[in-house]
Amino acid sequence: MFQNVLIAEDQNTINKGVERTLNELNIPNIATTQYCDDALLKLKAAFRTDQPFDLLITDLSFKADHRERTLKSGEALIEAVKTIQPNLKIVVFSVEHRIGKIKNLIDTYDINAYVEKGREESIELKKAIHTILEDKMYCSPSIAQLLRNVDDISQTDQYDELLLQLLAKGLKREQIANYFQEKDFPARSLSSIEKRINKLKVLFDAHTSEQLVAIAIDRGLI
Amino acid sequence: MFQNVLIAEDQNTINKGVERTLNELNIPNIATTQYCDDALLKLKAAFRTDQPFDLLITDLSFKADHRERTLKSGEALIEAVKTIQPNLKIVVFSVEHRIGKIKNLIDTYDINAYVEKGREESIELKKAIHTILEDKMYCSPSIAQLLRNVDDISQTDQYDELLLQLLAKGLKREQIANYFQEKDFPARSLSSIEKRINKLKVLFDAHTSEQLVAIAIDRGLI
DNA sequence: TAATTGACTATGGTATACCGTAAGGAATAG
DNA sequence: CTATTCCTTACGGTATACCATAGTCAATTA
């Protein structure tokens, strides 16, 4: 079982709750922190001793408050951690359900578990920890399900992604065409842009381009 | 001090955490539940005994899962509770920061405290409970600040919020107008809808309605 | 080579969104 | 009461989005 676990989570109550769950697993040393910067400091400090942390459980989003912050998100924390202790096991514990974001997280940072916050989260956390101990990856069932279907989404390639981003950034169709002209992209005419947007609307079952943007955001594509 | 407290919160970990916080206040009987319907059953059952609950701490949003639900939100639970035990003290404990919703909650249901989930939530929960014991209302500082600035804005907030939601759901301007006709809302003409959308675009500095929706989602307005 | 296909583009017509103006009515101020 | 202001609505013109059609060109195939 893990010996030294660090919890990074801004919500105080969740800290307490996760701590209690870890108690039930008989983990001897549990540290908690409410800021990413503090988490990194603690990890660094412990890494220099003979008692480094062997597991990090971290949220993704941390609210801003009066304190200055260098690391502003779980992603940033993970990226920083990987440079000093690349073998540290990491569990991401978040409400994030946008599959694009999660897939990116898994692909980029090679995290060991993704647990979605929800009713069964305590049970899932325990499962995740046991699974990691066997050197396997754990993922909440609902998310695992979505990940399997993620190939549908990767059809919408970089081009579509950029197109949706530009829409969400407030560019009109003609402006997008001009932008693509400059970048010398294929399908850079106004006509092609229109067709592509239309294709995306069919693909995502959106009635308007406003809804298209909303869906794209909801799925974490942009 | 309160003797019998019920916690309604779908996130298991938060349940544990709040329970621990209440332990620190030496509250003898703490019950937890992850469903609104169960919460109501427990409240009803206890109300018939000589040990009714004297405090309810409830979240606002409860995720859907396989179970059938009658009560789907904290608001619904509160409304139901008020019919059977109108004097029950209620603490709402939520991440909700849309001031319109919160003001509506306070005005309609006469709740005793609103604690916003965040870094200081445990301390605030304790403060809230102590404040309620003195028969006063407690509100998180950040929310209290916002409430002071919002007198008549809240109505327009609701309206704008719905408008943005309908846009994100793919309704066209005319369909939104029709929807507002049916609901007998003020400013229900196509012209008014257009004007309002335009006002929102100026307010949020959006160039297109697509961007407006994106910004609204980003800020958690919808 | 000739035909075919597919990706891209140009064009024009229709629908919708956008924007300004003005009229009506309710509430408010003088 | 009248004037003013604010809100709502109607209306009309312009811009943009939407949609169908057809043309160009390059690559592929027979």
pTM beyond 0.85, yes or no:
no
The verdict on a CB contact (< 8 Å) between B167 and A210 is yes
- A4-150 CATH fold: Rossmann fold (3.40.50)
Instruction: Identify the three-state secondary structure at position B5.
Output: strand
Lowest-confidence segment of A22-36, B10-24, B79-93, B97-111 by average pLDDT: B97-111
Whether residues B14 and A12 touch (CB distance < 8 A) is answered with no
pLDDT in tens, B209-220: 999 999 999 887
Q: Would you call B45 exposed, middle or buried from its count of C-beta atoms within 10 A (0-12, 13-18, 19+)?
A: exposed
CB contact under 8 A, B210 and A167: yes
For the ranges B105-109, B152-156, B176-180, the maximum mean pLDDT occurs at: B176-180
Q: Integer distance in angstroms from CA B78 to C1' D13?
A: 52
Top residue of A142, A208, A212, A219 to mutate, by most chain B CBs within 10 Å, is: A208
CA of A181 to C1' of C7 (A): 17
User: Are B13 and A12 inside 8 Å of each other by CB?
Assistant: no
How many CB atoms are closer than 10 A to CB A43?
Answer: 22
Residue B43 pLDDT > 80: yes
A174 in contact with nucleic chain D (CB within 7 A): yes
pLDDT tens for each residue of A63-81: 999 999 999 999 999 999 9
Q: Is B206 within 8 Å of chain A by CB?
A: yes
Mutate to test the interface with A, among B7, B9, B11 (most CBs of A within 10 A): B11
Contact between residue B40 and residue B90 where contact means Cβ atoms under 8 Å apart = no
Identify nearest nucleotide to residue A190 by CA to C1′ distance: C9
Rounded Cα–Cα distance for residues B40 and B56 (Å): 10
The beta-carbon contacts of A109-116 under 8 Å, at least 24 apart in sequence, are: A109/A75, A109/A78, A109/A79, A109/A82, A111/A78, A112/A137, A112/A138, A113/A137, A113/A138, A113/A139, A114/A138, A114/A139, A114/A140, A114/A143, A115/A91, A115/A140, A116/A140, A116/A142, A116/A143
Angle among Cα B35, B36, B37 to the nearest 5 degrees reads 90
Give per-residue burial for A166-187: e unless 16+ CB within 10 Å, then b: bbbbbbebeebbebbeeeeeee
Above 50 in pLDDT, residue B152?
Answer: no
Angle (nearest 5°) at CA A2 between A121 and A4: 100
Q: Are strands B4-8 and B55-58 parallel, antiparallel or unpaired?
A: parallel
Q: Which two tokens stand for residue B206?
A: 């959006």
Dihedral angle, C-alpha A61, A64, A65, A70, nearest 10 ° = 100
Q: B211 CB near a chain A CB, below 8 Å?
A: yes
Q: Do A13 and B122 touch (CB under 8 A)?
A: yes
Instruction: Give the residue from chain A lying closest to B8, CA to CA.
Output: A119
As a CATH number, domain B4-149 is: 3.40.50.2300
Q: Cβ within 7 Å of strand D: which of A 175-204? A: 191, 194, 197-198, 201
- Residue A155: its pLDDT value, please? 47
Find the distance separating the first CA and the last CA of chain A, reported in whole Å: 38
Print burial letters for A146-165: b (CB count within 10 Å at least 16), e (below 16). Answer: beeeeeebeebeeebebbbe
From the list A122, A170, A213, the residue facing B13 with the nearest CB is A122
Alpha helix locations (H) across A85-172? 99-109, 121-133, 141-148, 150-155, 158-168
Whole-number CA gyration radius for chain B: 20
Tell me which chain A residues have a C-beta less than 8 angstroms from the C-beta of B14: 11, 13-14, 17
Measured between beta carbons, which residues in chain B are less than 8 angstroms from residue A218? 217
Domain segments of chain A: what residues? 4-150, 156-218
Residue of B nearest to A118 (CA): B11
Q: Give yes or no for a contact between B57 and B5, defined as CB atoms under 8 angstroms apart.
A: yes
Q: What is the pLDDT of residues B69-91, one digit of tens each?
A: 999 999 999 999 999 999 999 99
Q: Which residues of A touch B169 (CB under 8 A)?
A: 211, 214
Chain A residues close to B143, C-beta within 8 Å: none
Least Cα separation, residue A50 to chain B (angstroms): 31
**B contacts of A21 (beta carbons < 8 Å):** 13, 16
pLDDT in tens, chain A (222 residues): 999 999 999 999 999 999 999 999 999 999 999 999 999 999 999 999 999 999 999 999 999 999 999 999 999 999 999 999 999 999 999 999 878 788 889 999 999 999 999 999 999 999 999 999 999 999 999 999 888 866 555 545 678 889 999 999 999 999 999 999 998 888 899 999 999 999 999 989 999 999 999 999 988 777
